[in-house]
Amino acid sequence: RSLLENVRAKVQRGLLPQWAFTDPDVFQAELERIFAKTWNFLGHESEVARPGDYVTRWIARDPVLLVRDAEGKVQAYLNSCTHRGTKLCTADFGNKKAFTCPYHGWTFNLAGELTGIVAGNKVYGKEMDRSQWSLRKIPRVESYQGMIFGSLNEHVEPLETFLGDMKWYFDLMLGRSDHGMEVRGIPQRWIIHTNWKISADNFGGDPYHTAMTHRSTVELGISPKDPMYASYGYQIVLDNGHGINIVTRRKDMNVPPFQGLPQAMWPMFERNLDPVQLDVFRNTMITVGNCFPNLSFVSPMHGTGGPDEPLTSFVNFRVWRPLTPTSIEVTSWLMVDKDAPEAFKEASYLSYVGSFGPAGTLEQDDAEIWTRVAEASQGWMTQDKDVHYNNVLNYLMGLDRVEPDPSWPGPGVAYPTCYLDAISRAFYERWIECLLDDAI
C-alpha cells in the first residue's frame, strides 16, 4: 500500500513508474479493484436486435453471453454452465432459442432457465430443483445510446452517473441521427502483446504520437505535413478518468462540416442535437478518447470527396481486454449512422478496414509501438521499485503551462490544444485511486 501511495504522489506530479505497466501484483489489483468493480462495455443493441440474437463477450476474464430474450429484453449471463462450468457458447454471435451445453447436454432457454437435463428424472430424480441451476446473471446491465454495459458489482453506481459528462459527447457520436448507430460487419478481435493502459492512454490522451508513429500517412500525402496538425482542437478532461480530444475543422483546411456526412442528413442532426452540440459537431474533424477504464474510440473522416476518394467517416469503439500484464485482446466495433445512405456506409466500412481494422495502416503502426513499450518494461531495471534506478516516465506535457479554455461550450475541463498530457494524468489519477480505495 505504501508503494501505491508513493505512485499516487508521483502521478499527481505527472510521473508514472514504468513497472506499473508490467508488474503482476498491479495487474491482479486491477482485475480486482477496477474490472470487477466498474462498468464494462459489452456490445451495441444493434448486435442483438431480435429475440434470440446473442453475442459472446468478456469482462476481463469472465465470459459473458449477451442475449435478447423472448420478451425483447437484453440479458447478460455468465457464459459458463452451472453443472460443471463449461463455457456454454463458443460462437461469437448467432440466433438461438436455447443453449445446450456440449459437455452433458444441459439446456438453458433465453431467460437463462435450465429447461433440459439429459435423462433428468432418471439420474437426478424429481427432487432436484431446476430453478436453482439457472445461468448466473451478470449483476448489473444498463445501456446508453445503444451501448450496453455490464458490471460484476451489484452496488456499482448507475451507468449514467458513471459516464457523467461523457454522455454529452456520446450524444454527438451516437445520438445525432434519428435511428442511432448500427454495427457494420462483425466486430473483429485480435491480440496485442502490450499492457491495457498503454493503448487506453494512447487513445485517451495522446494525439501527440500521430506525427511520428503515423508518419507514413504524412509521407503518402494522407495526413498534413504540419507536425502540429493533430493538436488543433481541444483536449477535454472529464470526470471518472474519461477524456476526449476533438480535433476541429479549421477555416484554411477546406474540410466539409459534420465530418463529411451527407448533406441530406444535416437536418436530422438539428433535430437530435441541442444547438451547442450541433455547433461542436459541425466543426469536428476527428474525435478520439477513452472511457475509463478500457473503452476507447476514434471517429475520423477520410477522403477528399473526389471520384476516386469518397468522403467517409465512422465511429470505431474498441475494448482493450486485459489478458496478462503484457497481453490484451482487442475487440473492435465499426459503427455508422443507421440513417446514412448505403454507399456511404460501405465506403466508411472499407475506410475503417484500411485504417483501424486489425490489418489497417494506423492500427499496425500503433500495435508495433505499444508492443515495444511492453517489451522494454519487463527487465530488471524497469521492474525496480525506484530503489536503485529512476524509473518514472514523463506525463508532464502542459502541466502548469496550459490553462483551461473557459470558452469551450461543452462540459468538462477543456484545454485549447490536443498536444497535452492532461487526460493521461487524469486517467492515471483515477486508476491509482481505484487501486487504493478499499471501498470501491
Q: How far is the CB of 66 from ligand FES (least distance, A)?
A: 19
Grid coordinates given for 200: 487506453
Give the binding range for ligand FES (CB under 6 A) out of 70-78, 102-110, 210-218, 397-405. Answer: 102-110
The site for ligand FES, by CB under 6 A, has a size of: 9
Residue 77 within binding range of ligand FES, rule CB under 6 A: no
* Residue 374 binding ligand FES, by CB under 6 A: no
172 makes contact with ligand FES (CB under 6 A): no
Would you tell me the crossing angle of helices 166-174 and 275-282 to the nearest 10 degrees?
A: 70
235, 61 contact by CB (below 8 A): no
User: With binding defined as CB under 6 A, does residue 81 bind ligand FES?
Assistant: yes
- If binding is defined by CB under 6 A, does position 106 make contact with ligand FES? yes
Q: Which of 13, 73, 84, 136 binds ligand FES (CB under 6 A)?
A: 84
* Interface with ligand FES, residue 104, by CB under 6 A: yes
Asked if 16 and 393 count as a contact pair (C-beta separation under 8 A), the reply is yes
Rounded Cα distance between 415 and 422, Å, is 8
Taking the complex as a whole, the smallest distance from the CB of residue 101 to ligand FES amounts, in Å, to: 3
Q: Which is nearer to ligand FES, 83 or 130 (CB)?
A: 83
Rounded to the nearest whole angstrom, what is the least distance from the CB of residue 344 to ligand FES in the complex?
A: 45
By CB under 6 A, tell whether 78 contacts ligand FES.
no
Choosing from 9, 70, 97, 103, the residue that interacts with ligand FES (CB under 6 A) is 103
Name the segment binding ligand FES (CB under 6 A); options: 27-35, 98-106, 122-130, 208-216.
98-106
DSSP string, 343-409: HHHHHHHHHHHHHTSTT-HHHHHHHHHHHHHHHTTSSHHHHS-SSSS--EEE--TTTTTS---TT--
> Can residue 389 be called a binding residue for ligand FES (CB under 6 A)?
no
Query: Is 46 a binder of ligand FES (CB under 6 A)?
Result: no
Please state the length of the chain.
440
Name which of 315, 358, 35 is nearest 175 in CA terms: 315
Pick the binder of ligand FES from 36, 63, 83, 402 (CB under 6 A).
Answer: 83
37 contacts 153 by C-beta, under 8 angstroms: yes
Which of residues 2 and 132 has its CB atom nearest to ligand FES in the complex?
Answer: 132
The closest alpha carbon to 89, from 66, 73, 70, 111, belongs to 66
H-state helical runs in 49-195: 120-123, 159-163, 166-174
| Spatial distance between the Cα atoms of 77 and 72, rounded to a whole number of angstroms | 15
Stretch that binds ligand FES, among 56-64, 101-109, 180-188, 263-271 (CB under 6 A): 101-109
Please list the residues that pair with 99 across neighbouring strands.
108
CB of 124 to ligand FES, least distance (A): 12
Residue with smaller CB distance to ligand FES, 137 or 250: 137
The single-letter code of the amino acid at 426 is A
Residue 264: how many CB atoms within 10 A of its CB? Answer: 11
Residues that bind ligand FES (CB under 6 A): 81, 83-84, 86, 101, 103-106
